[in-house]
Amino acid sequence: MSEADNRVLYIVHNPAWTDTRVADVLRAAGLEVEFRCHAAGDPLPDSASGYRGVVLGGGPHSVYQTGEYPYLAREIDWTRRTVEQGTPTFGICAGAQIMAAAFGGEVAGRADGLAEFGFYPLEVTPAGSAVFGGLRQVFQTHYESCTRLPPGAERLAGSAHFANQAFRLGERAVGVQFHPDARLDMIPRWYAENSASYRSRPGAQDLEQQLRLGPQCEAAIQAWLEGFVRRWLDLAP
């Protein structure tokens, strides 16, 4: 494996957000993870062609706040070029929304303000069965989602309250609204950091619910992510 083949670029939206299950799984597969936080001033590479793949992590800002946060417009444009050049791309939560916006999709919250904050069932489509296998419950932290998929995107999963939980652009780019990057041991910290934004929203789970449901989901999420990374990056089994 060459140096370029060994590197995965991981775009985060806070310099502190580098403790992630996805990075753990990439490293366990023998890959080097290079974090960049463009929102905090790290430059984006001119091209992602020197990387085996790109991960777009979650973030605190809506894709429609480009006037207030210019980094978003640059990331949206960069993501479009990255996907078009065929680099394997994996968007997580806000990262998936950036992917959708890059190709003409729409992102919005529900009129009733409902959120998914905690563990919720995933409804896999027939097209998504090969991608998600037996994955049936996932961790979520969002109240916006992709309300209209980009033209040509393939819907892979939904949930009871958000129709587009996962989609594919071409063969090498997948976006998921849920958070496979959050390990069970991270849940109390994520709750402490995010609960103020979600407590008053219908649908959000409290910490007791999340800690009760999490152990029931952890092994399946871990196994799914390990298999997904191997398929996504064409790694040997």
Other CB atoms closer than 10 Å to residue 47's CB: what's the count? Answer: 12
68-107 pLDDT per residue, tens:
999 999 999 999 999 999 999 999 999 999 999 999 999 9
Q: Is 1's pLDDT higher than 50?
A: no
Contacts of 136 (CB under 8 A, 6+ apart): 121, 122, 124, 220
Q: What is the pLDDT of residue 13?
A: 97
Percent of the chain with pLDDT over 70: 98
Measure the CA–CA gap between 5 and 111, rounded to whole angstroms. 44
Task: State how many domains the chain has.
Answer: 1
Assign residue 180 the CATH number of its domain: 3.40.50.880
189 inside domain: yes
β-strand 166-169 against 154-158: which pairing, if any?
antiparallel
**Band of the pLDDT at 236, cuts 50, 70, 90?**
confident
31-75 pLDDT per residue, tens:
999 999 999 999 999 999 999 999 999 999 999 999 999 999 999
Range of the domain at 213: 3-232
Nearest CA among 97, 196, 186 for reference residue 139: 186
212 inside domain: yes
Q: Is 118's pLDDT higher than 70?
A: yes
227 inside domain: yes
237 inside domain: no
Q: pTM of the predicted model, to two decimals? A: 0.96
66 inside domain: yes
Any idea which of 3-17, 110-124, 149-163 has the lowest mean pLDDT? 3-17
Q: Is 183's pLDDT higher than 70?
A: yes
